[in-house]
């Protein structure tokens, strides 16, 4: 289903033009307008879902095969040296467009980008407590 006021529904449906690098019945993959690196792309499902929590499992199951196809294109055609997959869910996680999408960010030696986080230093006990909380 499409959501009326959703820009990615309009892009995925072809109502708003985009630089499409791959398309099939479920997804449109477009170039990001504010790229982190050359070739930064977004995998956008044609069906609306706000985020990973809402994404139908059968569509979720096809996201990674699609990412793999496009990753091979990026390696072959852009000659990237590596690639980050980034997928934000919720404002706190940096999501700004509330239609599920996965970032594909080709990486190049000396591209100067930093994609990461500050590593914590939990004790074994703290890790155990978190494990219990999640799996309980």
Among 28, 40, 46, 99, binds Zn ion (CB under 5 A): 99
* 101: annotated active-site residue: yes
In angstroms, rounded to a whole number, what is the distance separating the alpha carbons of residues 45 and 111? Answer: 28
C-beta closer to ligand AMP: residue 65 or 94: 94
CA 78 to chain centre: 19
Strands 41-45 and 82-86: unpaired
In angstroms, rounded to a whole number, what is the distance separating the alpha carbons of residues 122 and 36? Answer: 31
Q: Does 3 bind Zn ion (CB under 5 A)?
A: yes
Among 28, 40, 46, 48, binds Zn ion (CB under 5 A): 48
The site for ligand AMP (CB under 6 A) is made up of: 7, 18, 30, 32-34, 42, 88, 94-97
Active-site residues, by number, are: 101
């Amino acid at each position: 289903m499409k959501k009326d006021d959703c820009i990615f529904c309009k892009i995925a449906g072809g109502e708003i033009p985009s630089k499409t690098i791959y398309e099939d019945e479920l997804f449109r993959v477009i170039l990001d307008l504010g790229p982190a690196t050359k070739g930064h792309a977004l995998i956008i499902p044609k069906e609306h879902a706000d985020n990973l929590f809402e994404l139908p499992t059968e569509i979720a199951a096809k996201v990674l095969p699609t990412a793999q196809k496009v990753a091979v294109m990026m390696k072959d055609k852009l000659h990237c040296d590596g690639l980050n997959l980034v997928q934000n869910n919720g404002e706190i996680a940096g999501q700004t467009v509330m239609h599920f999408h996965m970032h594909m960010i080709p990486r190049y030696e000396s591209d100067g980008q930093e994609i990461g986080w500050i590593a914590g230093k939990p004790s074994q006990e703290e890790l155990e407590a978190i494990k219990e909380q999640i799996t309980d």
